[in-house]
Structure 1
Amino acid sequence: MPVTWFTSDSHFGHRGILSPRMDRPRPFASIEEHDEVLISRWNDRVCKHDHVYHLGDFAYGCSHAYARQVFDRLNGIKFLIRGNHEERGDRLAWAGAPVNVLHVHVQDPGMKRAQGIWLSHYSHRTWPNVWRGDIHLYGHSHGSLSATARSCDVGVDVWAYRPVRLAEIMEVLDEHSAREAGDAAAAALAEAA
């Protein structure tokens, strides 16, 4: 059974992502090293028949031919959501129909039931079916926004420059849920005192 993976903001071919002027410059000596490490880490985790949702900013500042070459080297059946670097609809037309948001249900091996997920390049404060247990995965922030009990940044800057499984994401969300419940209980006790 295929496994589902999520990632965002790979920025293949984008020399500027290494610049010290960036808030969080990536720790690679060259864009060639950057791209090869990201390709290797992707392919070390993702199998040929796995599904990968890439939530925007796949490539930037490189030719369409180079972006296509990288795309073709990556394992899995890939679904791309448009990010701010893919604003033009034809930017990665060979990668499928461009979409801005996507609502999916994922049931990986070992899961008792499917999990509803709202996917977007951008972080949302609310989303469809949030009150029915659906979670939200996003990119764009390059690790500058903390996860919550219901939402998480799946960008490569947060996840060691590699895609992440839903089980790993759920562990992070569960930690934040427990922390938020503890904070609410402490606030209620303080208010009652």
Structure 2
Amino acid sequence: MPVTWFTADSHFHHAGMMSERMHSRRSFPSVEAMNEHLIANWNAVVGRGDTVWHLGDFAWKASLAQAQDVFRRLHGRKFLIRGNHDKVGERLPWDAPVRDVAQIHVQDPGMAEPVALWLSHYAHRSWPRQHKGTLHLYGHSHGALPPTGTSLDVGVDAWDLAPVALPQILARLAEAAAREGDAS
């Protein structure tokens, strides 16, 4: 059965992601090694029939040919939520038009009911249907923003450089909610 995955901020071909001044904690001998690691991690979890929502900044500092080469090697049906570095990424053959935000419902195998999600490249303090249980997934912060009980960063730098599935997301949200409850 197909599974839905989420990720952001892969920044394929962006050598600057390995710099100490970046939010990222990527340590690779070359941009090619970083790219290969990210591709291998993606394909280790994502099946060919799975769906992947990439929440922005797919590739940066890449030519269209370089981005296409990476894109064609990645498993899954791929959808893009536009990030601030997606000038090249927007030109790839995504499975639907590129959007700024999306409100979706996911019900993967084993889930009793669908989960409502608000997807954006950026973290929001509020979002549509937030008070009706809609959860918010975002990128851009490279793991620098702590999760809350209802929103978190799904970028590769927050998830061991790989896409993440909803059960792991829900577990991390529940941990954040428990911490919030302990603090009150």
Same fold (TM over 0.5): yes
Deviation at 1:44, TM superposition (A): 0.5
Other-structure match for 1:117: 117
Structure number with larger C-alpha Rg: 1
Whether the 8 Å contact between 1:145 and 1:153 is mirrored in structure 2 is yes
Following superposition, the deviation at residue 25 of structure 1 comes to 4.3
Aligned positions of 1:1-193 closer than 5 A: 1-86=1-86, 88=87, 91-95=90-94, 96-184=96-184
> Structure 1's 41 and 167: CA in aligned 2 closer, same or farther, altered over 3 A?
same
Equivalent residues of 2:121, 2:139 under 8 A apart: yes
RMSD: 1.4
- Cα distance in 1 for residues equivalent to 2:113 and 2:59: 34
Give the letter aligned to residue 140 of structure 1. H
Gaps of 5+ in 2: none
Q: Distance in 1 between matches of 2:127 and 2:71?
A: 29
Structure 1 stretches of at least 4 aligned residues deviating more than 6 Å after TM superposition: none
User: Contact 2:156–2:162 at 8 Å: present in 1 too?
Assistant: yes
| Residue identity opposite 1:181 in structure 2 | G
Matched letter for residue 58 of structure 1: F
Q: TM-score, normalized by length of structure 1?
A: 0.91
- Give CA-to-partner distance per residue, 1:154-184, whole Å, 9 cap, x none: 0000100000000000000001111111222
> Could you list the per-position Cα deviations for residues 122-175 of structure 1 after superposition, in whole angstroms to 9, with x for gaps in the alignment?
000011111111100000000110000000100000100000000000000001
Q: TM (normalized to structure 2)?
A: 0.95
Aligned to 1:191: none
Give the distance between the partners of 1:70 and 1:19, measured in 2 at CA: 22
Aligned residues with identical type, % of pairs? 51
SS of equivalent residue, structure 1 residue 48: coil
Of residues 110-119 and 22-31 in structure 1, the stretch that sits farther from structure 2 once superposed is: 22-31
Partner of 1:169, secondary structure, is helix
Q: Which amino acid aligns with 2:110?
A: G
Partner deviation per Cα, 1:63-98 (whole Å, 9 max, x = no partner): 001101101100000001110002x49842532422
Question: C-alpha offsets along residues 12-53 of structure 1, whole Å, 9 cap, x if unaligned?
Answer: 011111122324341111100000000000000000100000
